[in-house]
A and B are shown apart, each in its own frame.
Chain A
Amino acid sequence: MSKKIISSKHEKEHEATITARPSILEHELVPKHEILSKAEVEELLKKYKTSINKLPQILVNDPVVKELGAKVGDVIKITRNSPTAGVAVYYRVVVSEP
């Protein structure tokens, strides 16, 4: 599951660490994070008639963001296990500071 969502650039590097160190992405508290493409971001913002700075935020030094290799300004799609809906999608924009 974790492999799929890692951008190709970081894949090798990550592969090496995974054997040495447990990956936090596999922890049961951590939901699936993926980086949205530009087009998907556009679509999201259009769907909610909003702008990027009105989205919930995630810090660039968040451990999961670091694993993903996301940059400031990227939008992360989070697929949570939801007690009410089963699966729920959330979005956070990567920012440099709170």
Chain B
Amino acid sequence: MVKGSIAAIKFGILSPDFIRKMAVAEIQNPDTYDEDGSPIPTGVMDPRLGTLEPGQRCKTCGNTYLNCPGHFGYIELAVPVIHIGFVKTIQELLRSTCRSCGRLLLKTEMIENFRREIERHRAEGRQYRHIFYKVKQQAMAATVCPHCGEKQYKLELEKPSTFLEVTPQGSVRLSASVVRQRLERITSQDLELLDIDPEYARPEWMVLTVLPVPPVYVRPSITLETGYRSEDDLTHKLVDILRVNKRLKESIAAGAPSPVIAELADLLQYHVTTYINNETVGISPAQHRSGRILKTLAQRLKGKEGRFRLNLSGKRVDFSARTVISPDPNIDIDEVGVPLEIAMQLTVPEVVNPWNRDKLKRLIRNGPDKYPGAKYIIKPDKKMVRLKFVHNLDEVANTLEDGWIVERHLMDGDIVLFNRQPSLHRVSIMAHRVRVLPYKTFRLNLAVCTPYNADFDGDEMNLHVPQSDEAQAEARLLLQVQRNIISARYGAPIIGAIRDFLTSLYLLTKDGTYLDKQSVGFLLASMGYNGPLPPPEKSEPVPLWSGKQLFSLLLPRKLSHRVQASFNPDDEVVMRDGMLVKGYIDKSAVGIEKPNSVLHRIAKDYGSEVAANFLNSLVRLANTFINIRGFTLSIEDLIVPESAYGQAKQILTEMEQEYQRLKSEYERGKLEVRPGETPEKAFESSILEVLSKTRDRIGSLIRAYVPSSSPLVIMAKTGARGSTLNIDQMIAIVGQQAVRRERPSRGFLDRVLTFFERGDLSPPARGFVINSFIKGLSPIEYFFHMAGGRDGLVDTAVRTQQSGYMQRRLINALESLYVEYDGSVRMSDSKKIVQFLYGEDGVDPAKSDHGKAFIPRLIVERVMEEYPETTTPVSKELVVKEAEKYEEALPPLILNELINTTLRLKAPAEAVPVIFREAYKTYLQSLVEVGDPVGVITAQSIGEPGTQLTLRTFHFAGVREQSILLGLPRLIEIIDARRTPSTPIMRIYLKSPYNADPKLARQVARKLQFTSLGDVMDEVRIDLRRNLLIVKLDRDAMRELGVTNSDIVKTFKHYKAKISGENELVLMMPEEVELQMGQIRERILATRVKGIKRIKKAIVRKEGDEYVIHTEGSNLREVMEVPEVDFKRVRTNDIHEVASVLGIEAARQLIVEEARQVLREQGLDVDIRHLLLLADMMTINGEVRQVGRHGVVRLKSSVLARAAFEISVQTLLEAAARGEMDNLRGNVERILIGKEVPVGTGMVNLLMLYPGRKNREASESNNSG
């Protein structure tokens, strides 16, 4: 076996000679096996190609099937055949070269010019691919060869692979051999200008004369139970090719008439084409006898089930396990319960040494079937002893020597990786310590459900056992649960107390909870506390301890902190010196997603071990307490006095009256219709307003009857589960059901169900549910509820698909980014710089305080505590002077905040240097780690919340008339860098007098809004006799839109416009124009009389104390030119427009703002650094690039990385024609070939050059990394 490592992969096309040379057999015979089942020599299963049968030896290399690498064969094709993958390239080549002399159809000096240009670009290390495009364009335009003077004919391609030359005598078909001859004539020098590497890809090789036959491993046959052999699809195809090839050869030898031969040649072409790609457009795919479509070469590589994505980007692994998960609050958060059965299957290799020898001997004596035991022993000569087959285990144990390796059972304390799919973010895979437990499920602590997004309704999870010491150390130091308490997405805990734990802690710590000595002992034991018992808060008649006291025992002794309770934001929770002195504990103290909570402070200020211990004890305390106290929700909790519903009925009657009033207004046409709304829409939205008001009123009415001690309220308010809306729906009113965000309207003609009148728009007819869940829904209400529910399910299904694809694209676009030693962000393959300092301040969100390196107030307060006696009051000069020392070290924003806070809190002068020193220290601690794969973190941070984004949202931005695309579709639109947004809008600020006066502002708005003649006219007449077009103007519309007579006359002065008495615009038609009157009319009516192109609607809105114009449609360039407009502040949401008018930097800024806006609108917390990185990546080469195959991914230097993403086959073929080289530097390529990636812990190289010995590989990796 050959050993070595892959340094690079060169792509190219095999020459016929090479194919013959690398082959071990010529394949001629279309038959596979003879009667007794042995392969026929020179058939497609020729034994020289390698062997698949165990026990047999390869005829070529003499190895068994385990070691024989397989050998190629070849088929001599009777006639040349065009390689279907290169048809496009061949066509381009033929069209840009002379049909007679084969030279490039450009003058010699132009060729030289281009050559020099390419040379120059290459020398400067710049992109030069666009030059090839220019060469091709110009050469293909030539009609006469500048070298030999031959006239060039048009060349047509008849799909899939027939070339036709259009000569004056008619179209002539070019046979593959003619094509090949022409390609042969093209000189190598010319090819270099056509983006082809002649050394590795001579164009004539694109026309096959010899076909390689892959070894049998590539297409193994399977033997069915019945004894029949079933052949691989490729084998079938090769047989087809051979059969036709044989017939063709015989026909040629027999001198058959040329039509017969041409027909056979076409058939051969078909078979070779489908052999290469069975999804070629224009031909019917080759089928199996059963009608199944064959999977041939291209199909093997392509798509999700193809080689790249199925077998190369992801690989199957050993040492893994999968089973159902179940909860266990009694194990630590960084533990995982592993069933004994699994622990006895998985092994960890341990090298024998004097310290573990006795232990390992004991394990060996236990053998593989008794826990804890061992399964294998590996001796230094790599010989493996399987203990299952050893009779005398004692004997083996006694011979054990140091340096041997024992593969023992998984044991308590071993480190393993635990994972739940979909692995949407970093914390979907974390390292846990093993706890071997009985029964058959994996057990995990409930605090880690959130990062995994796990519940216990049948979820399964995977477990992997790292084998090497390096991998284990890495897992312990980087992946363990406690290292990941703070989310890299939003810089707040993602692991914390959830559900009943929050309920429990609230009940425990709220005022008035006291426990007797027995309970206290019980609770303290459960949380593993073994310090002194604090003095009881009450001693009469029996000693009683408060819940606050118990909770306080968990807190670090010096901790002081205050938070707002989530139960009631007015309640303050105060902790002083490790004591909970006021308030109670709920989600905002120890829950997830809450920045600056107690949990967050402990994790950040006291470290991950303290935080893990805190959570462990917390979970156990909460669990034990709620077990003692009990907590239940019964139907009784949903019952309110019947009298409450009386008032509700009153509200419903009012609703009905209100509806009737609106309806009659609508029918009489009296309903207020806002600009840009149809009366129907106005009616509908007024109804919706009434309905939601009704629901809210009834909700709050009935809610008042629910005591705050109700389990429902406790759960909703502590953040344990549910919301007030859920409570309302259960006890008060379910409310409006929606389908596609509207009231249900489809079903029967003009009505949803036949129980209603046609056209009934009343609340009950359109899905308003007046009952509560406890009262029960009427059958009709039930139907609407079901419809709404189904819509929700569909929406979720569609959304997960879309956001999944978005995430995949983000990952592929950003995957190579990492932090370099100097703090800059670079691409691992090309080493291009993306950011000069990560996140612009170098802070890692996962080590931050909700995106900040530290909270200045906390630092100042902490330091001030050390100086209780304020002696010298602080002066501004002193602080500024101290700050100057840190000007280079700390980012300006942070420094300023620190200065201001120090002054505001009046820190003593002595403390100032300490404050700054402390702050600087904290800043350094919060910096990103070198090697961090920040691109992947960014992609995950944007992609993971994608499923939570709403789909299909048109939001009405304050003004109801203006709808903006939001949610997932808008995010995808931004990431896709679409040419125009689907709802382009502008926000136009005005200069001084105009922004203060609504009248003036409206005037400007009218001036901006695009108005055509058609918008201000009543009717048009055509006077054919006098050749006139007479337009009757609509005075009302003109007044409304601010169009004057002179505007119109000016616009149409070329038509000799005149306005006659009765509002008639008379236009003279140009006589010479041979256009239809109708067409002219259309054109005239569409002509602008006023406003700016593309500004469809302009509405004035008050923002703060100024009036701002909001428009539908966007035209930044022209709006900025309008004198009344404050051009410095004009905004649009069209990123490409901003790029072309204001430049790439402005576009980058807009990407950040737009993306941030979408996420904020949906209430998703994503650190701004992620958006900054995304925007920088999207604009890195000066234009706005899409996150996807046409943008960021296409510019990757690696062929394999591109092929692994999308359009694999085409990418590979292009790479072959260009003779591209893949240096395997990027992450994707490294994974494909099975090596470690060059980021994170993989970017570290140990360089040791022995004196006098040149280590080439070492110096090479030095250059690259």
A, B in one complex = yes
- Give the dominant DSSP class at A's interface: mixed
Q: Does B14 contact A (CB under 8 A)?
A: no
CA distance A49 to B820 in the complex (A): 11
Closest 10 CB pairs of A and B: A86-B893, A85-B891, A88-B840, A85-B841, A29-B1146, A64-B1143, A86-B892, A22-B1127, A59-B1182, A53-B125
Of B623-631, B825-833, B1046-1054, B1226-1234, the one with at least 4 CB within 8 A of chain A: B825-833
- Restricting to B818-842, which residues have a CB under 8 Å from any CB of A? 822, 824, 826, 830-837, 839-841
Decide if B770 is an interface residue (CB 8 Å cutoff): no
Establish whether residues A84 and B1145, one from each chain, have CB atoms under 8 Å apart when the complex forms: no
List which A47-98 residues lie within 8 A (CB) of chain B: 47-51, 53-59, 62-65, 78, 80, 82-92, 95, 97-98
A28 at the interface (CB under 8 A from B): yes
Q: Which residues of chain A from 28 to 42 have a CB within 8 Å of any chain B CB?
A: 28-31, 33
B1201 at the interface (CB under 8 A from A): no
**Chain A residue at smallest Cβ distance from B839:** A84
Closest residue of chain B to A31 (Cβ to Cβ) is B1145
Q: Is A15 part of the binding interface, using a Cβ–Cβ cutoff of 8 Å?
A: no
Chain A residue nearest in CB terms to B125:
A53
Report which of B893, B1138, B1145 forms a contact with A85, defined as CB distance below 8 A: B893
Q: Which of A28, A56, A89, A95 contacts B1128 (CB 8 A)?
A: A28
Selecting from B530-538, B784-792, B1168-1176, the interface stretch reads: B1168-1176
Q: How far is the CA of A64 from the CA of B1120 in the complex (A)?
A: 15
Question: Is the C-beta of B1140 less than 8 angstroms from some C-beta in chain A?
Answer: yes
- In the complex, the answer to whether B851 meets A97 with C-beta atoms within 8 Å is no
In the complex, the answer to whether B1181 meets A57 with C-beta atoms within 8 Å is: yes
Chain A's nearest CB lies how many Å from the CB of B897?
Answer: 9
Report the minimal beta-carbon distance from A63 to chain B, rounded to whole angstroms: 5
A50 smallest CB distance to B (angstroms): 6
Q: Which residues of B contact A30 (CB under 8 A)?
A: 1142-1143, 1145-1146
**Chain A residue at minimum C-beta to C-beta distance from B892:** A86
Contact in complex: B840, A48 (CB < 8 Å): no
- Flag if B1145 contacts A82 (CB, 8 Å): no
Asked if B1150 is an interface residue, CB under 8 A from chain A, the answer is: yes
Cβ-closest chain A residue relative to B126: A53
- Asked if residues A84 and B843 are in contact (CB atoms below 8 Å), the reply is yes
Of A54, A65, A88, A90, which one neighbours B830 at CB under 8 angstroms?
A: A54
CB <8 Å contact, A84 and B831: no
List CB contacts (< 8 Å) of A1-28 with chain B: 21-22, 24, 26-28
Complex-state Cα separation, A31 to B1138, whole angstroms: 13
Contact A98 B1127 (CB under 8 A): no
For residue A89, which residues in chain B have a CB less than 8 angstroms away from its CB?
Answer: 836
Chain B residues near A (Cβ < 8 Å):
124-127, 130, 822, 824, 826, 830-837, 839-841, 843, 851, 891-894, 896, 1120-1121, 1127-1131, 1138, 1140-1146, 1149-1150, 1168-1169, 1172, 1176, 1179-1183, 1185
Known A50-B831, A58-B1182, A84-B1168; contact A31-B1149, beta-carbon cutoff 8 A? yes
Which of A28, A48, A58, A65 has its CB near the most chain B CB atoms (within 10 A)?
A28
Whether the Cβ atoms of B833 and A27 lie closer than 8 Å is: no
Using C-beta atoms within 8 Å of the partner chain, give the interface range for chain A. Answer: 35 or more
A55 to B1181 alpha-carbon distance, docked (Å): 9
Residues in A neighbouring B1144, C-beta threshold 8 A: 58-59, 62, 64, 92
**When chains A and B are docked, how far (Å) is the Cα of A21 from the Cα of B1127?**
10
Taken together as a complex, chains A and B put the C-alpha atoms of A60 and B325 apart, in Å, by 58
Instruction: Give chain B residues whose Cβ lies under 8 Å from the Cβ of A86.
Output: 891-894, 896
Return the contact of A48 from the options B836, B896, B1145 (Cβ within 8 A).
B836
22 A-B pairs (CB sep. < 8 Å): A22-B1128, A26-B1128, A27-B1129, A29-B1131, A29-B1145, A29-B1149, A31-B1146, A48-B822, A49-B822, A50-B831, A53-B125, A54-B830, A56-B1181, A59-B1144, A63-B1142, A80-B1145, A82-B840, A82-B893, A84-B1172, A88-B841, A92-B1144, A95-B1181
**Chain B residues positioned under 8 Å from A31 (CB to CB):** 1145-1146, 1149
Give every chain A residue within 8 A of B893 (Cβ-Cβ): 82, 84-87
* Bound-state Cα–Cα, A83 to B840, Å: 9
Which one, B836, B892, B1172, contacts A87 given CB within 8 A? Answer: B892
Given contacts A64-B1146, A84-B891, A85-B841, 17 further A-B contacts (CB under 8 A): A21-B1121, A22-B1128, A24-B1141, A27-B1146, A31-B1149, A33-B1143, A47-B822, A56-B834, A56-B1176, A56-B1180, A63-B1140, A64-B1143, A82-B891, A83-B1168, A85-B840, A86-B891, A95-B1181
Instruction: Give the shortest distance, in Å, between A54 (CB) and chain B (any CB).
Output: 5
Residues of A within 8 A of B1141 (CB): 24, 63
Question: A29 with B833: in contact, given A22-B1120, A53-B125, A85-B891 (CB under 8 Å)?
Answer: no
A residues in contact with B1131, CB < 8 Å: 29
Whether the pair B1145, A64 counts as a contact (CB closer than 8 A) is: yes
Q: How far is the CA of A16 from the CA of B298 in the complex (A)?
A: 62
- Check B831–A92 contact: CB distance below 8 A: no
CA distance A64 to B1144 in the complex (A): 8
Chain B residues lying within 8 Å of A28, measured Cβ to Cβ, are 1128-1129
Docked-complex contact A78 and B840, CB < 8 angstroms: no
Inter-chain contacts of B1146 with A (CB < 8 A): 24, 27, 29-31, 64
Using A26-B1128, A28-B1128, A63-B1143 as known contacts, say yes or no to A55 and B833 having CB atoms under 8 A apart: yes
Q: Which residues of B contact A59 (CB under 8 A)?
A: 1144, 1182-1183
User: What's the nearest-Cβ distance from chain B to residue A65, in Å?
Assistant: 7
Question: Are A27 and B1130 interface neighbours, CB within 8 A?
Answer: yes
Residues of A within 8 A of B1143 (CB): 24, 30, 33, 58, 62-65
Given known A-B contacts A54-B833, A64-B1145, A84-B1172, A98 and B1150 have beta carbons under 8 A apart: no
Task: Report Cα–Cα, A62/B1182, bound state, in Å.
Answer: 8
A22-B1127, A33-B1145, A85-B891 known; A98 vs B841 contact (CB < 8 Å): no
* A63 to B1183 alpha-carbon distance, docked (Å): 12
Known: A84-B1168, A85-B841, A85-B894. A78 touches B127 (CB 8 A): no
A48 touches B1127 (CB 8 A): no
Q: How far is the CB of A93 from chain B (nearest CB, A)?
A: 9
The chain B residue with its CB closest to the CB of A88 is B840
- CB pair A78–B1145 under 8 Å, yes or no, is yes
Task: Pick the contact of B125: A51, A78, A80 (CB < 8 A).
Answer: A51
Q: Is the CB of A97 within 8 A of B130?
A: yes
Known A-B contacts A22-B1121, A53-B125; A29 and B1138 likewise in contact (beta carbons under 8 Å): yes
Whether B1142 lies near A27 (C-beta < 8 A) is yes
Residues of A within 8 A of B1128 (CB): 22, 26-28
Q: Which residues of B contact A88 (CB under 8 A)?
A: 837, 840-841
B833 touches A48 (CB 8 A): yes
Contacts of A50 in B (CB 8 A): 831, 833
**Residues of the A chain whose Cβ atoms lie less than 8 Å from the Cβ of B1172:** 83-84
Q: How far is the CB of A53 from chain B (nearest CB, A)?
A: 4
User: Contacts of B891 on A, CB cut-off 8 Å?
Assistant: 82, 84-87
Q: What residue in chain B is nearest A64 (Cβ atoms)?
A: B1143
A27–B1127 CB distance below 8 A = yes
- Residue on B with the closest CB to A57? B1182
Find chain B residues with CB under 8 A from A51 CB. 125
A11 to B840, CA, bound (A): 32
A11, B1150: Cα distance in complex, Å = 29
Point out the residues of chain A lying under 8 angstroms from B839, CB to CB: 84
Most buried by B among A27, A64, A90: A27
Shortest beta-carbon distance from A62 to chain B in Å: 5
In whole angstroms, what is the CA distance A95 to B126 when docked? 9
Which residues of chain A are within 8 angstroms of B126 by Cβ–Cβ distance? 53, 95
For B835, list chain A residues within 8 Å (CB).
90
Report how far A22 CA is from B1126 CA in the complex, Å: 9
Give the CA-CA distance A56 to B833 in the complex, in Å.
6
